[in-house]
Structure 1
Amino acid sequence: MHQPDTSPLRVFIDPVKITKKGQGYSVSFNGEIIITNTRNPSGDACRHLVALGYRGRMEMWDNERPHPRMVFRDIERAARLKVAENERHGPRIVRFDPMTEGLRERLAASREIGPCATQFQ
């Protein structure tokens, strides 16, 4: 009997640019860059893979550690979250709001201050 593949999806992150707002990362999956620059690689990778139809577990790796940086048991659940931090609060997990993200992108474009931190290809 054929068993479904239950091995986790593996994404790899690489630092690409650091700004006053923080470190940006590129995200690769199956040898291809799927996100060019994001400050939230875990949540953005989950949302991207869910949009492509993937489900299940995901591991986020870098080139420094011999183990995953993070493991997600359910990328559909993780896709609804993001890491947020600012001057008053350190990193914390909050609900992802696509309307807020879209507004930030439009404001950035209208002010010509460059692209949003999350740049999907």
Structure 2
Amino acid sequence: MHQPDISPLRVFIEPVKITHKGQGYSVSFNGETIIARTRNPAPDACRHLVALGHRGRMEIWDNERPYPRSVFHDIERAARFTVAESNAHGPRIVRFKTMAEDVRGELFTSRSASQ
């Protein structure tokens, strides 16, 4: 019987630019840059790979360590979250919302408050 390939997806991150908002990273998969710059490389990579039809386990690697920086056992689940930070609180894991969801939420809140 044929065993399915259960090898983890290997994603490589590399620091690209640091700004007042924090460190930016590029993300590569199979030797190709899939994200040119992001401050949230792991959750963004999960979303990107899920959009391409990938499933399962993913490892985040860099050029410094002989082992993965992070391991995600289910990228579909991990894609639903991101890291958020503000002046009011430090980094924390929150549910990911698209910009359209954020805008709809702000519009709804603004309209409700003005009525």
The question of a shared fold, defined as TM-score above 0.5 by the shorter chain, is answered with yes
User: Larger relative contact order (C-alpha < 8 A, sep ≥ 6)?
Assistant: 1
Counterpart in 2 of 1:85? 85
Give ranges in structure 2 of 5+ residues lacking alignment. 104-115
Q: 1:101 to 1:48 in 2, by over 3 A?
A: farther
Counterpart in 2 of 1:13? 13
Give ranges in structure 1 of 5+ residues lacking alignment. 104-121
Deviation digits for residues 41-92 of structure 1 (CA, Å, limit 9, x no counterpart): 0010000000000000000011111111110010000000001112232211
How far did 1:35 drift?
A: 0.2
Secondary structure class of the residue paired with 1:45:
helix
Counterpart in 2 of 1:41? 41
Identity percentage of aligned residues: 78
Secondary structure class of the residue paired with 2:90:
coil
Matched, 1:69 2:69: yes
Q: CA separation in 2, counterparts of 1:14 and 1:33?
A: 10
How far did 1:28 drift?
A: 0.2
Secondary structure class of the residue paired with 2:89:
coil
Q: Write the letter of the residue equivalent to 1:6.
A: I
Q: CA separation in 1, counterparts of 2:13 and 2:102?
A: 23
Between structure 1 and structure 2, the one with the greater Rg is: 2
Q: Write the letter of the residue equivalent to 2:85.
A: E
CA RMSD of aligned residues (A): 1.5
Q: CA separation in 2, counterparts of 1:48 and 1:21?
A: 22
Q: CA separation in 1, counterparts of 2:10 and 2:85?
A: 25
How many residues end up aligned between the 2 structures? 103
